[in-house]
Structure 1
Amino acid sequence: MSGRVVVTGGSGFIGAYLVKRLVRDGWNVAVVDNLVRGDAARLSDVVDDIELFTSDERDQDALEKAFGGADVVMHLAAVNGTENFYKRPELVLDVGLRGALAVVNAGRASGVPDLVVASSAEVYQTPSVVPTPEDVALMLPDSINPRYSYGGSKIVSELIAFNYAQEHYRQVQVFRPHNVYGPDMGWKHVIPQFITRALKGREEVPAGAVPFQIQGDGSETRAFCYVDDIVDGIVAMYTHGGHREIYHIGNDEMVSIRDLVGRVGRTLGIDLDIQPSEAAAGGTPVRCPDITKMRKLGYRPEVSLDEGLQRTAAWYLENSSATVMNELL
């Protein structure tokens, strides 16, 4: 398939990988991103092949200009990262809620037929079934805890996509990515933090095991999915999926956080001495998607966790200067 596609948040982590894939596939690609949280350098390889609108995703008038003539809008703009959920919940909610409304209304005004909206595994918090299918009840356990600013905003975004917008689009799809990782994903997510902390720890402890503190006891489990596999899933969903459907895009290879630390250490050649600590309030002990629905569309995650960690660690080794790490840690 090809045509004109607009990606909001296209200089973000997943967004940039998606934009480059869509360019390779022959789409006429436009990106809407205010570049406050994203990084234009992620698009340097395709900057001559895209149209960039440096607009805020909450600005409906600007969105209408960008959306003109589009066959599909893929709305990925959001304030992600667990650290942001706790420290900047107002911004997380403002971008999540007002951004979703502005995107849906601008698409409606511009006559865009198809809408794809990125949700999150955070809509489940602690799911009642693992591996988790798409029809499990969504959960907001505690409206006081700022962690749920992100999951709550994604629940509302899904309601906006499927109900507020239902009369105005030919096709509406929502995907829930699960624990995406890869090169150049930023510095506020678990795998980049583990990598940079391990490197910093080796500088401080040149020989022997490096003390490595984690939140909780390390028994928490996740299913991490390499970013290229996530992008493959988005394309497969849009190409083969149905209207008013939700899809889990991820990997069902589960790993404990303790095992993840060990794999990061082995990838870097560093012996990490895990030191448990108090778990963060609102954390989820287990998360793994049931991807049966996506498998029926032909989706198959290809990159193993060990291979993905090697690729990711190589990027951070090349790009993690001592100055950067001192500022972050």
Structure 2
Amino acid sequence: MEKDTKIYVAGHRGMVGSAVWRALEASGYTHLIGRSSSELDLRDTQATHDFIAKEKPHAIVDAAARVGGILANSRNQYEFLLENLQIQNNLIQGAHQNDVDNFIFLGSSCIYPKMAPQPLKEEYLLTGPLEPTNEGYALAKITGVRLCQALRDQYNRNYVSLMPTNLYGPNDNFDLETSHVLPAMIRKFHEAKQNGNAPVTLWGSGTPRREFLHVDDLARAVVHALEHPLPDNLYNVGTGTDITIKELAGIIQKAVGHTGEIRWDTSKPDGTPRKLMDVSKMKALGWKAEIGLDEGIQQTHEWFLQSFLS
């Protein structure tokens, strides 16, 4: 792919999209385009198709989505299903109709069955029931994977789906009502530290195991997928290692400098018991995660202090 190739990054102001934008710029790409949600509502079919027809990008990276943690997902199943379907369907159909041959569809490890064997392999998709608390989002993303696969098979499009594990990093969402577990913990420990190292109450038992990937590592995987046409449709993107939520809390508490008590509210849901990705397919093609969890959490905490709180 030439460095002056026109690449449209949908959702370029979000955590994932902004990381992809940075990674593309760092790799020398000079013709990147993006639109904020106020400039282009990707839920609007006609507006999205008109934009793609006018700009005629050579590649599209779909980093646009409605996302959130357990609370936001469980309370808004309708919106998470409908709006994610609207966004991705408009982008995928618009790309196909305008002969955009390169498309990177981004989703999440939550597409896999709740009780699937560990580590999660790509072939486990649609082999069992999903985790109920984020079923709306997961169903939408599964549909996107299948749409890209169908276009790849029927029309020979270079459409690839990358499914990252739990992401974190700069530009994350730190809202306690809608955020994921890692940024929510950073904010909770920070506020408790500011409040005289008050106790911190966290959801669930702390026993589920989770895998965490710095968003800059995912962004490098996107660049890799654009520069090296991949032979299959679906790839997991992660570190291949996981920790318990209790262990995560300990790392974040230390990074923030909170010295108070941690309390676990076991009346709240744990979610999926474990979500560890098998990332052997991506590793075989020359990509692997590089940012360690301790280093990444320290960087994210610093960004939170400098950018979110400023």
Shared topology, TM-score over 0.5?
A: yes
Structure 1 residue 194 corresponds to structure 2 residue 185: yes
Distance 2:232 2:130 in 1: 28
Structure 1 Cα separation of the partners of residues 66 and 128 of structure 2: 18
1:1-31 Cα deviation digits (max 9, x unpaired): 3311111111111011101222332241111
1:244-264 per-residue CA deviation (whole Å, 9 max, x = no partner) reads 421111112311110111101
The answer (yes or no) to whether the contact 1:258–1:274 under 8 Å persists in 2 is no
* Cα deviation, residue 184, structure 1: 1.9
Please say which of residues 96-105 and 296-305 is displaced more in the overlay: 96-105
- Bigger RCO of structures 1 and 2 (CA < 8 A, at least 6 apart): 2
1:162 aligns with 2:153: no
Letter of the 1:75 partner, please give it: D
SS at match of 1:150: helix
Aligned residues: 300
CA contact (8 A) 2:6 2:33 kept: yes
Is the 8 Å Cα contact of residues 210 and 275 (structure 2) preserved in structure 1?
A: yes
Deviation at 1:300, TM superposition (A): 1.9
* Gap change, CA 1:96 and 1:244, over 3 Å in 2: farther
Quote the residue 1:76 is aligned against: 63
Q: Deviations over 1:31-77 (max 9, x none)?
A: 14415xxxxxxxxxxxxxxxxxx211122332233324321111121
Pair 267,28 (structure 1): closer, same or farther in 2 beyond 3 Å? same
Matching of residue 173 in structure 1 with residue 164 in structure 2: no
Give the one of 279, 293, 303 matched to 1:305.
Answer: 293
Q: State the match for 2:24 in structure 1.
A: 22
Aligned equivalents of 1:168 and 1:291: distance in 2? 27
Query: Runs of 5+ in structure 2 lacking a partner?
Result: none
Tell me, yes or no, if structure 1 residue 34 matches structure 2 residue 21: no
Counterpart for residue 233 of structure 1: 221
- Structure 2: which amino acid aligns with 1:182? G
Cα deviation, residue 282, structure 1 = 7.2
Deviation at 1:243, TM superposition (A): 4.7
| Structure 2 residue matching 1:192: 3-state secondary structure | helix
Q: Do the aligned residues in 1 keep the contact of 2:102 with 2:226 (CA within 8 Å)?
A: no
Given the alignment, which residue of 3, 6, 11 partners 1:4? 6
Aligned pairs for 1:39-118 within 5 A: 54-67=39-52, 68-82=55-69, 83-118=71-106
Q: Which consecutive residues of structure 1, in runs of 5 or more, have no partner in the other structure? A: 36-53, 325-329
SS of structure 1 residue aligned to 2:171: coil
One-letter amino acid matched to 1:63:
T
Deviates more, 1:164-173 or 1:124-133: 164-173
CA distance in 2, matches of 1:235, 1:133: 22
Query: Identity across aligned pairs (percent)?
Result: 23
Verify the 8 A CA contact 1:33 1:77 in the aligned structure 2: no
**Amino acid of the residue matched to residue 302 of structure 2?**
A
| Partner amino acid, structure 1, of 2:209 | T
TM-score norm. by structure 2 comes to 0.88
Q: Distance in 1 between matches of 2:60 and 2:84?
A: 16
Report if the CA contact (8 A) 1:172-1:243 is conserved: no
Amino acid corresponding to residue 193 of structure 2 in structure 1: R
* 1:148 shift after superposition: 1.1
Change (3 A) 1:287 1:318: same
What's the secondary structure of 1:252's corresponding residue? coil
Distance (Å, rounded) in 2 between the aligned partners of 1:241 and 1:294: 12
| CA distance in 1: counterparts of 2:202 and 2:227, whole angstroms | 40
| 2:264 counterpart SS class | strand
Does the C-alpha gap of structure 1 residues 282 and 157 become closer, same or farther in structure 2, counting only changes over 3 Å? farther
AA matched with 2:59: V
SS at match of 2:297: helix
- SS at structure 2 position matched to 1:26: coil
Name the amino acid aligned to 2:66.
V
Q: Is the 8 A contact 2:108 2:141 kept in 1?
A: yes
Structure 2 counterpart of 1:182: 169
